[in-house]
Structure 1
Amino acid sequence: MTELAENTEHLEDALPLGPESLVWRYFGDNRMYLIGPRPAVLQNMLAELGQGVYDHSTFFADTAERLKRTIPPIFNTVYGTDEHNAGTQVRDFHVTVKGDMPGPDGQPAGRYHALDPDTYFWAHATFVEQIYYFADTFVKRLTDAEREQIWQESKTWYRRYGVSDRPMPATYHEFERYWDRMMNEVVVAHQTARYGVGYVTKGFPKPKAVHPLVWKLVAPVFNPLAAFLTTGGLPPRARTLLELPWTDRQERRYQRFAAFWRSRPVNWLWDRLPMKVRYNGYAVRAYERG
């Protein structure tokens, strides 16, 4: 049976993406910036994925430019249609991302490939988990039914990439077990992940497109906020592995900050803002298309 046939056969066990889906409702919400770079950091904590980024990406040379190239195809996968989306484009970006895993003695300790099913699925899992974390932390407490719905919709999303769905859990509860195992037993403090959160203690590097004088004025405000959102938005296990400073007092501040955004008045106000304020352009165009 071909991979395409396998994916088609499985469509009946998933839910569609579209205007009524929860994935659409939350993934393109501009409040998503409040979680910081959670999915990117967690992705790079899988050794094989972090090594692929280290060896092949422009992430270190120009982080902002790399994100600008990466994010649009992901959104176009989620907010595309079953017939027209960027899923296979995203997949094909990774065909040549492969190489040797370095061993403790400097010698190769196995191979990695971005399209290895377990590696590729982990990247997807961090994007789905960001929806759960964002919605539950900054919008509303999700019900069990909503969590399952998001998971079933995410399976349609993943299958748009056209890669093996062998590692994909069947239900949300299975995904929870998968996530806990990955966080507690598999992820590591890979140097790519460490670099990605280095600005928490060192300050954010000036983006190439920003004038030095402008950055000098912006950085004193931006850096503390970025550090707060980045560190607060990571799981405790990730903070520990990456040795990020975080106190009980900061945790209380973060929880108050999150509760403010979840509050009924703030949600009431947010829901009455123009669509183009609440959602990014990919989501707005998708909702207009229907």
Structure 2
Amino acid sequence: MKQHDPDPPPPPVGGILWETAGEIRALLALPAAFVLQVAHPAVGAGVDEHSVFRTDPWGRGQRSLTSVLLWVYGGEDAAEEGRRLRRLHRAVQGTDPHGRRYHALTPAYYAWVHATGYPVARYARRYFARPFTPAEDEQFYAEWLRVGRILGIHDRDMPQTTAEFWPYYRKMLDQEVGRNVVVDELTARDRPVPPPPGHAVLRLLWPAVRPVLTRAMAFLATGLLPPEAREAVGLAWTPRQERRLRRFAVLVRWAAPRLPERLRYLPLARRARAATRLP
């Protein structure tokens, strides 16, 4: 009888992703990463036609965030989460705006969704934390490849080093990425986001809260895109906006490291980190 291949291991305990993926600063880069993902026409079409990001953005966001945290902190559950995601995306297919058939698990499209996390997280870190050293950058990318294997991405479909990544990335920006209806919605300052379910007081305050929230999300989604990606997508960014982002980053960079772990890390990450410190 043929034996099954062992599950790919998650990133190492104590590694760069272990220290950063579940930290609250990582949340700030998520809108930009999502924009860069959907700027690919096939990915954008799949989200446009199959995602509930318009009707259930809070549920969709919570599920996506939990999934990301499981890849890093889930231990044996990481590989099962990868299998669940592949099952979920088997039915996601259609035709993109260029008339090309797409399937969510087409290796080039599936790999792009994962690949975008690297340049966006790396760029956001320049604002909100100490930039990686060259050695840390290589380690971060190697750990991101390990996450890709959990998701079922074959090594042949992802650049295997940072030196290989950047030509691939530039080619994707030059030949594939562009503006589309989903990009426009995610970067709109007046996006019609419904209130979170189950919060009666917040629902009452939502007409005042929603414009502030959507402007902030649009600001981060655009400002934390690397400049070359922002240009490829066709999003404007002014010197005044850059100054605002830098002022905000000074506050985050000062405050985040001073928070106690119970406030600095998301619950799933905090529990996993605490479990590794038990005698």
TM-score normalised per structure 1: 0.82
Tell me, in whole angstroms, the C-alpha distance in 1 between the residues paired with 2:100 and 2:30.
Answer: 32
Are residue 288 (structure 1) and residue 279 (structure 2) matched? no
1:249 alignment partner in structure 2: 240
* Displacement after TM superposition at 1:243 (Å): 5.1
Amino acid at match of 2:92: V
Q: Distance in 2 between matches of 1:97 and 1:16?
A: 26
Q: Counterpart of 1:218 in structure 2: which amino acid? A: V
Instruction: Indicate the residue corresponding to 1:233 in structure 2.
Output: 224
Aligned mate of 2:106, from 116, 123, 128: 116
Shift of 1:76: 0.8
Does residue 214 in structure 1 map to residue 205 in structure 2?
yes
1:158 has 2:151 as partner = no
Distance 1:149 1:288, change over 3 A: same
* Between 145-154 and 24-33, the greater mean CA deviation after superposition: 24-33
Q: Secondary structure at the match of 2:156?
A: coil
Cα distance in 2 for partners of 1:73, 1:139 equals: 24
* Contact 1:117-1:163 within 8 A present in 2 as well: yes
Does the C-alpha gap of structure 1 residues 284 and 44 become closer, same or farther in structure 2, counting only changes over 3 Å? same
Shift of 1:16: 6.2
Do the aligned partners of 1:27 and 1:131 also contact (CA within 8 Å) in 2?
no
Deviation per CA, 1:135-173: give whole Å up to 9, x if none. 232110211000000111111111112243322111112
Question: 1:275 and 1:96 mapped to 2: Cα distance?
Answer: 40
Match of 1:100 in 2: 95
| Residue 182 (structure 1) aligned with residue 172 (structure 2) | yes
The separation in 1 between residues aligned to 2:239 and 2:21, in whole angstroms, is 30
Residue of structure 1 equivalent to 2:249: 258
Shift of 1:42: 0.7
Counterpart of 2:40 in structure 1 is 46
SS of 1:271's partner is helix
> Which amino acid in 1 is paired with 2:11?
L
Give the counterpart of 2:84 among 71, 74, 89.
89
2:266 counterpart of 1:273: no
Counterpart of 1:110, as a letter, is: R
Aligned Cα RMSD in Å?
2.6
Residue type at the aligned position of 1:84: D
**What runs of 5+ residues in structure 1 fail to find an aligned partner?**
104-108
Contact 1:17 1:78 in 2 (8 A): yes
2:163 is matched with 173
Distance 1:114 1:221 in 2: 33
Contact 2:89 2:104 in 1 (8 A): yes
**Residues 44 and 50 of structure 1 are in contact (CA less than 8 Å); yes or no, is this contact kept in structure 2?**
yes
1:280 CA drift (Å): 0.7
Paired with 1:61 and 1:270, the residues of 2 have a C-alpha distance of 32
Give the structure 2 partner of residue 106 of structure 1.
none
The CA distance in 2 between the partners of 1:43 and 1:58, in whole Å, is 16
SS of residue matched to 1:219: helix
Contact residue 74 and residue 90 of structure 1 kept, 8 A: no
CA gap 1:287/1:276 in 2 versus in 1, 3 angstroms: same
Q: CA deviation at 1:79?
A: 1.3
2:116 aligned counterpart, secondary structure: helix
Distance 2:222 2:63 in 1: 25
Question: 1:117·1:165 contact (CA, 8 Å) conserved in 2?
Answer: no
> Does residue 136 of structure 2 align to residue 143 of structure 1?
no
Residues 138 and 258 of structure 1 are in contact (CA less than 8 Å); yes or no, is this contact kept in structure 2?
yes
Q: 1:128 to 1:80 in 2, by over 3 A?
A: farther
Distance 2:217 2:52 in 1: 21
Mark the runs of 5 or more structure 2 residues left unpaired by the alignment.
none
Q: Deviations over 1:27-85 (max 9, x none)?
A: 1110123335011111100111111111211122222222222221221122122x331
> Structure 1: how far apart are the matches of 2:152 and 2:27?
28
Partner Cα separation in structure 2 for residue 145 and residue 216 of structure 1: 47
